[in-house]
Structure 1
Amino acid sequence: MRYLMLVLSTPDAPQDPEGVPAIEDWVRDTYGAGRAVLGDRLRPPADAVGVQVRAGEVIVTDGPFSETKEVVAGFDVLDAPDLDEAIRIAAAHPMAHTGAIELRPFWPLGLEGDADGGPGDA
């Protein structure tokens, strides 16, 4: 099963916690084992734009769409057999120590070729 791992920067992050693993080690171990298939850092919220369509008009706004104290700093797509393994992988990420991690299982659309079915398979 695939999981989107959102890497979050949080305002209440501990200052210089001990025992934080190096990101290079996490990348080598996770991607090297085939447990992650895609990931990257994201530009700061000031570089983001919001996109909405209302009454047929495309509305583009500067900055993040919603007000939040947490900032999505990056993401990884994990390929794990179950949630327990995805949690183990996420807990080993440096930002689990200094920020936060959110795991979201993919929910395939149920189109031809989707292995896990669609919304009706919840």
Structure 2
Amino acid sequence: MRYLMLVLSTPDAPASTENVPDIEDWVRDIYGTGRAVIGDRLRPPADAVGVQVRTGEVVVTDGPFTETKEVIAGFDVLEAPDLDEAIRIAAAHPMAHTGAIELRPFWPLDLDEGAEAEG
């Protein structure tokens, strides 16, 4: 099963980074074993662009477009057999110690099922 792992920077980060794992070790251990598919850091919220369509018009807003104390700093797509393994992988990430991690299971659209019924 695939999980989106959102890596969050939080305002309540601990002052000490003692005993926090190195990101390089996490990347080697997780990506090197195929338990992660893709991931990257994200630019800061000031570089974000919001896009909405209202009454047929595209509305674009610059900068942060959500009011939140947490900032999505990056993401990884995990490949794990179950939620317990995804939690274990997330708990080993440095930001689980100094920020926060949010895991979300993918919810496939199953678009191919409709094509098979038509064919």
**What does residue 19 of structure 1 align with?**
19
Report the Cα distance in structure 1 between the residues aligned to 2:71 and 2:86, rounded to whole angstroms. 21
Report the Cα distance in structure 1 between the residues aligned to 2:36 and 2:65, rounded to whole angstroms. 28
Matches for 1:55-70 after TM superposition, within 5 Å: 55-70=55-70
**What does residue 92 of structure 1 align with?**
92
- 1:64 deviates by 2.1
Q: Which amino acid aligns with 2:103?
A: L
Identity of aligned residues (%): 86
**What does residue 28 of structure 1 align with?**
28
- 1:17 deviates by 3.0
Stretch moving more, 17-26 or 83-92: 17-26
Report the Cα distance in structure 2 between the residues aligned to 1:64 and 1:86, rounded to whole angstroms. 29
**What does residue 119 of structure 1 align with?**
none
- Unaligned ranges ≥5, structure 1: 114-122
Q: Which amino acid aligns with 1:6?
A: L
1:110 matched to 2:103? The reply is no
**What does residue 2 of structure 2 align with?**
2
More helix by share: 2
Report the Cα distance in structure 2 between the residues aligned to 1:40 and 1:93, rounded to whole angstroms. 13
**What does residue 50 of structure 2 align with?**
50
Q: Which amino acid aligns with 2:34?
A: G
TM normalised by structure 2 equals 0.93
**What does residue 79 of structure 2 align with?**
79
- 1:39 deviates by 0.1
- 1:4 deviates by 0.2
Report the Cα distance in structure 1 between the residues aligned to 2:71 and 2:2, rounded to whole angstroms. 22
TM normalised by structure 1 equals 0.90
Give the aligned length.
113
Report the Cα distance in structure 2 between the residues aligned to 1:58 and 1:100, rounded to whole angstroms. 33
Give the aligned CA root-mean-square deviation in angstroms.
0.9
